[in-house]
Structure 1
Amino acid sequence: MKTKLISVFFVLFFLCLFSPITSMAVESPNESDTTKIEISDSFDVTKVEEDLVPILEDKLEKHKEKLPKINNYSSNKVKQIINNYSEFDSLSSQGKVLEGPNEPIVKKSNEVINLNLSPLATDNRVKITNTTTNPHNAMAHVVYSSPNGDWYTCSGTFLDEDTVITAAHCVYNTYTNQFNQFWYVYPGQNGSANPYGGWASASAYVTLGWVDAAPTEPGIVYFTDVQHDFAVIKLDTTHSHNLSVSSNSSFGDSITSYGYPGDKATSSGYYLYKSTGSILDIEYDALVHSTYVTGGMSGGPILKNNNVISVNSTASWGPQLTSTHIDLINQWKNN
């Protein structure tokens, strides 16, 4: 009897030891032979101040006939596109698929990431009082209309005269699998002052890796998908102030995040703020940092030596812009 009890004990011990821990990782919805890291964080998509909505609705009415039509595919068509292309190919808001760089950068792994999701910084944001000086004159307040008609606020950066980099979640909703419907970009906005005016757009690009992100609930991003949380908006303009992108980032670097936070907006409008910090970790081509980022700052630039090395994704995450990211961004710039 004693021998049998010992045998049962060892069987149970080894079953527990080698059984998968499902709470740590979930199966990827599109790849049955790999696992997706379950760790996720929310990005705070902030609604535009109510007083500004009628103004934006009026702008949309004036521009929508001149703008190209957004092409949102059915779920089956999206799956077909994903199956026929790689995750660093890209999709335009008009339904055009572009083949991207040949060199993949996604780091596949079944390892479980142990990240601390508690706040990494205190609020050290500083208001930028002059937005017409470099590098601030390349930064922009971005507002967009979702498919259900709600208006939200984000941030971005001009990379050339007509290309603005922002967060992919400001462009494409991975939960509903839909592009947003309209973007309006105000470079150098400073409250009620728009020193360079503003431009409307319905043209944008995201990676198929972002389209395939498949979160289980709205407003979240898996850490392994952060590397895809970048996009560009194309404009019909010739804004003369821009910044360069760089792949020069590493652990411990001093950085500065910028953006137009919704919690700092007033009846006069939105203001540019910055927060300093450092890179705490780099995993899966994503940065973990200690700058202070809040809703509305999504898509704003993370700078090192005045070069864009990332954009704000969540409060403390952002994609690491590698040489492959930059090759893809350059492709988007030329389309």
Structure 2
Amino acid sequence: MKGFMRNSIPILLLLILIVSFHVLPSNAQQVNTSKTVLHKGEIEFKDLPKEVQERIKKTPSYGPENTDALKNIDMKKIKELPKHSSIGSDGSIVTDLPKPKVSEKNGFLGSDNEKMDTKNLLNSLVPNNLEITHHTTYPYNAVARLLVEKTPGNYNWCSGFYIDRNTIITAAHCVYNTTTNTPAVNIEYERSPGPTGNPLYEFGATKKFWINSGYVDLPNENGNISDSKYDFAAVQVGKDSANWFGIRNSNHQPGEQILLTGYPSGGEYDASIQYKSLGVISSIENYNGILQTTGYMHDGMSGGPSWNTKVGTTAVIGINSASLSDYSYSFSTRIEGSTYDRIIYWRDLPD
């Protein structure tokens, strides 16, 4: 009997380990939920390219004169708001968002050039799996490069995309720091610039943007992956674009291809060239409101579009947000439900 008990203990421990393993999420990345927010290090004004410095000096900023109202907002009040509340850079708060007035069928016809066989894309992403885009052709000419003044004289590169003539969607962490509860000072924008250093299309500066209370209420911008469901914002600009994306709030399925697009910065990249990474959606269920993908997302691509061509239109289905610290997966804020409603609400606001 004693021998039986001695032999049973290892078997019992093995059974416990097996049961414990199976109650964990099926994908290994679920064990480590820490993320990397995709902008590393600030750039001082003196280190920006000379032509960018001159453009900043000469370009007046659209929108409110400053964002002090948002900077001084009562955080206790924020905690009491519904998570879907809209907060403007002028400090305005809207808690009851109207339902979208128009159909989501407002995209351009899709391009068969971006449809590919996804059979070889089902494994984890390949680091630096980036390819230069044709930035002057649609939909790449609807992608924006943002230079965000996070604190006076200090900048970060980010990306974004137009959803109408004067509204750019980007990541909330590009325009608001939840660790210090401080909004961006100013946002320089260019539509689809190329490597020459000179703007090809519309460019300007703005201080007019909106975020959501769910993001403002986060304690730390380098938090968990699950926080990425709040990581979206809208920027209104003072010059009209001729090109923009449609957005799709349904019909997202694991296994379908997805392209992550933006302006990577840091390391071998200097934010002067637009890149894309092709991958697939690996999960829509591991994290609520988030697309987990095998596309490669580099610093500076935050806020850029995660998009594909399906049901006849090219449309954005997610917003580039973060990667795991080892870059084994990337995560995009999924455009659905109240997130979709807020984006449409921001898009339809008057100038």
Alpha-carbon distance, 1:80 to partner: 3.1
User: What displacement does 1:39 show?
Assistant: 2.8
Change (3 A) 1:75 1:165: closer
Partner of 2:201: 196
Query: Which residue of 318, 326, 332 corresponds with 1:310?
Result: 318
- The equivalences for 1:101-112 within 5 A come to 101=97
Contact 1:70 1:179 in 2 (8 A): no
Counterpart AA for 1:71: T
1:169-201 per-position Cα deviation (integer Å, ceiling 9, x unaligned):
101111011111111111111112422041211
How far residue 284 of structure 1 moved from its aligned partner, in angstroms, is 1.3
* Cα deviation 1:83-137 (Å, max 9, x = unaligned): 442111011111111224489xxxxxxxxxxxxxxx9411321111x31211011
Mapping of 1:64-143 within 5 angstroms? Answer: 67-73=63-69, 77-101=73-97, 120-122=124-126, 123-128=128-133, 130-143=134-147
Q: How does 1:1-335 map to 2 (within 5 A)?
A: 39-46=33-40, 47-48=42-43, 51-52=47-48, 55-63=51-59, 67-73=63-69, 77-101=73-97, 120-122=124-126, 123-128=128-133, 130-192=134-196, 193-215=198-220, 220-248=222-250, 249-262=252-265, 263-265=267-269, 270-282=272-284, 283-305=287-309, 306-315=314-323, 316-335=330-349
How far residue 73 of structure 1 moved from its aligned partner, in angstroms, is 4.9
Task: Output the CA distance in 2 between the equivalents of 1:230 and 1:264.
Answer: 27
Question: Contact between 1:72 and 1:178, CA under 8 Å: does it hold in 2?
Answer: no
AA in 2 matched with 1:211: V
SS of the aligned residue for 1:145 comes to: strand
Gaps of 5+ in 1: 1-23, 25-36, 104-118
Cα distance in 2 for partners of 1:271, 1:303 equals 19
Which residue does the alignment assign to 2:6?
none
**Structure 1 vs Structure 2: percent identity of aligned residues?**
26
**Distance across 1 between alignment mates of 2:95 and 2:277:** 36
CA deviation after TM superposition for structure 1 residue 52, in Å: 2.4
Q: Which residue of 2 aligns with 1:116?
A: none
Show structure 2 runs of 5+ residues with no match: 1-23, 25-30, 100-122, 324-329
State the AA in 1 paired with 2:336. Answer: T
**Do 1:264 and 1:270's aligned partners in 2 also have CA atoms closer than 8 Å?**
no
1: CA distance, partners of 2:71 / 2:187: 23
C-alpha change, 1:85 and 1:48, in structure 2 (3 Å) is same
8 A contact 1:131–1:137 mirrored in 2: yes
Contact 1:312 1:318 in 2 (8 A): yes
Q: Root-mean-square deviation (CA), in Å?
A: 2.6
Question: After TM superposition, where is structure 1 displaced by more than 6 Å over at least 4 residues in a row?
Answer: none
Amino acid at match of 1:313: S
For residues 252 and 100 of structure 1, do their structure 2 counterparts lie closer, same or farther at Cα, with a shift above 3 Å needed? Answer: farther
Deviation per CA, 1:255-280, whole angstroms, max 9, x where unpaired?
Answer: 010010114535xx610100011111
Provide Cα deviations, 1:146-168, integer angstroms capped at 9, x if missing partner: 12421110111010000001111
* Residue type of the alignment partner of 1:169: H
Structure 1 residues 86 and 194: alpha-carbon distance in aligned structure 2, compared to 1, 3 A threshold: same
Q: Distance in 1 between matches of 2:322 and 2:193?
A: 22
Deviation track 1:9-44 (CA, whole Å, cap 9, x = no partner) reads xxxxxxxxxxxxxxx9xxxxxxxxxxxx99321213
Q: Which residue of 2 aligns with 1:16?
A: none
Q: Secondary structure at the match of 2:240?
A: coil
SS at match of 2:345: helix
Structure 1 residue 75, shift from structure 2 partner: 8.2
Change (3 A) 1:238 1:229: same
Q: Matched residues in 2 for 1:61 and 1:132: separation?
A: 27
TM-score w.r.t. length of structure 1: 0.76
Residue range with higher mean Cα deviation, 276-285 or 66-75: 66-75
| Residues 199 and 235 in structure 1, CA contact (< 8 A), matched pair in contact too | yes
Distance 1:133 1:102, change over 3 A: closer
Letter in 2 for 1:99: T
Give the paired residue count: 279
